[in-house]
Chains A and B, each alone.
Chain A
Amino acid sequence: MSEVFYISAAIAIMATLMAITRLNAVHALLYFIVSLLSVAVIFFILGAPFVAALEVIIYAGAIMVLFVFVVMMLSLGPQAIEQERSWLNPRIWIGPAILALILTVELTYLLLMKAGGLSGVKLVGPKAVGIALFGPYVLGVELASVLLLAGLVGAYHLGRGGKKIEEASRGVS
């Protein structure tokens, strides 16, 4: 079972190295998503299934989609269609696809073994995490909500457009 850990760790490091050396942002995002998925497999076999699910849903799902949105917004130009066509070239997505396929094989193996984690590792399920999160750590949850509100207000203020911000700051001063 610990081989699964080492294979996932190797995939994570390889995909991260590929992610920071790509010239095209979308290729880098593909490799980084594979890296996040392999870290999620590591979480799963370390006995933290709830955090593994959060890693896939929030990191690979939500945060990476934000990145993809911004990359797509910035690349709107006459060459965008040509670029889109080049992304459908198998040479681009075959690397992340192979790495993700290895992860799928690992996940299938884990599911068939009906194993929640490594043999010597205690499984810490979502129930224990929830009880601790809203018990001793409830102040941290409140602080996190304030932080998210600050992020929301900040992103809204910055996203309104340059002219309006200049006028608003001039009106204040």
Chain B
Amino acid sequence: MTAAVPLHHGLIVAGILFAVGLLGLLVRRNVIFILLSIEIMLNAAGLAFVVAGSKWGQVDGQIMFIFVLTMAAAEVSVGLALVLQLYHHTKTLDADSANKMRG
């Protein structure tokens, strides 16, 4: 059985996942994909918490992940309701179509 994974390898994976999510957030203009990229970034942040908690053998990382999970659930429910509203108003999912403040 080999030795444990070093802490920084787990953190690098979390960083790469976060960067990929940020890239998706910046390049995509479909609202569904923007929400998906936010989920990717939240998941990467939770991964960093759990990796750090596992390094010290403490439960706090896992508890922070549970809070991140709760926040993601609340955020995605409101976000998807907003997506439905946007689609009903503009008949498209393009985020650039919602650049007018006029209702």
Contact = CB atoms under 8 A, between A and B. Distances in A.
Interface of A: 1-3, 5-6, 9, 12-13, 16-17, 19-20, 25, 28-29, 32, 35-36, 39, 42-43, 46-48, 50-51, 54-55, 58-59, 62-63, 66-67, 69-71, 73-74, 118-122, 124, 128-129, 131-133, 137, 140, 144, 147-148, 150-152, 154-155, 158-159, 161-162, 166
A124 B76 contact: no
B97 interface: no
List the 4 closest A-B pairs by CB distance, nearest first: A120-B4, A151-B74, A20-B24, A122-B57
B6 to A, nearest CB: 9
A167 to B, nearest CB: 13
A13 B4 CA distance: 21
B84 interface: yes
Interface of A is mostly: helix
Given A13-B13, A47-B54, 13 more contacts: A1-B2, A5-B10, A16-B17, A19-B36, A20-B24, A47-B57, A48-B50, A48-B54, A62-B73, A120-B4, A133-B63, A133-B66, A144-B67
Q: Range of interface residues on chain B?
A: 35 or more
A132 to B, nearest CB: 4
Nearest to A21: B24
Contact of A140 (B2, B20, B63): B63
A159 B77 CA distance: 10
Contacts of A137: 63
B72 A51 contact: no
Contacts of A28: 33, 36
Contact of A129 (B37, B63, B89): B63
Contacts of B54: 46-48, 121-122, 124
B85 A50 contact: no
**Is chain B's binding surface mostly helix, strand, loop or mixed?**
helix
A36 B77 contact: no
Interface string B55-79: 0011111110111011111111110
Question: Which of B5, B9, B58, B93 counts the most chain A CB atoms within 10 A?
Answer: B5
15 contacts: A6-B5, A6-B9, A20-B40, A25-B30, A48-B61, A59-B39, A63-B76, A67-B80, A73-B84, A118-B4, A121-B54, A124-B54, A129-B59, A132-B60, A162-B88
Contacts of A42: 10, 13, 47
